Amino acid sequence: MRNTKKTLAMVLCMVIVMAMGVPAWAIDSPQTVSQTPSTVYVNGTATQFEAYLIGGNNFFKLRDLAYALNGSNKQFSVGYDNVTRAITLTSGQPYVPEGGEMVKGDGTQKIAVLNAGINIAKDGAPVEITAYLIGGNNFMRLRDVMKLLDIGVGYDNETRNITLDTLISYTEDSGQTVTPPPTTPMPPVEDNLLQFSGTGDKVISGISPSFPLRKK
């Protein structure tokens, strides 16, 4: 009976994820991830990010991207709507740093958990972005964000360099993804101890994910 209940629960989770439009490569269970080996060039300038490879895709903190693009023709602000409880992106607005942006990762492997319930709006309209919770922060798929902002993304297979160019429009990739480095197993974590707040990236632990907190 116990095994039957567990199987039914797993099937139900898969149905919910599929109904929400989560990509097939996005794994719902906790997984071990490593930092991306790529060098990122923003309008030709080498920029260091804390970013992770998940399912062959690169994931970045939204506020880091806003910070790096600040002052460009594709700059955007990041906020929080207390009414809709959504993280908000506003095109053309300067980003106001809150502190903690562009902090380098420590290079160690981390546990990533799919944040399928994240609520994001761009210029007042709800949008879909694949996000994972890693080390207490929301990391969002780079191409999802760049597509929303219409920023060109490039990838060099030989050097593994990633380029972001605000002077060209976004185009879909050819389907090729980045090959992640080998990982080693880490202890599992409890999904129900993760909760995202209204800060855009930060996550508070120890609270049920059903009740988002308002930003103070």
The confidence score (pLDDT) of residue 27 equals: 63
Q: Count how many residues are written for the chain.
A: 216
Q: Give the start-end residues of each E strand in the chain.
A: 31-35, 40-42, 45-47, 52-54, 57-60, 76-81, 86-91, 110-114, 120-122, 125-127, 131-134, 137-141, 152-155, 162-165, 194-196, 203-205
Alpha-carbon distance of 54 to 190, in angstroms, equals 19
| Regions of the chain where pLDDT drops below 70 | 1-27, 174-216
pTM confidence score: 0.73
Query: In this structure, how many other beta carbons lie within 10 angstroms of the beta carbon of residue 169?
Result: 10
List, for residues 128-157, the tens digit of each pLDDT value.
999 999 999 999 999 999 999 999 999 999
CA dihedral 113, 178, 95, 123 (to 10 degrees): -80
Number of Cβ atoms within 10 Å of the Cβ of 6 = 10
pLDDT of residue 173: 75
β-strand pairing of 57-60 with 52-54: antiparallel
- pLDDT value for 11: 41
CA distance 58 to 52: 6
Q: What is the residue extent of each domain of the chain?
A: 30-205
Residue 29's pLDDT is what?
A: 87
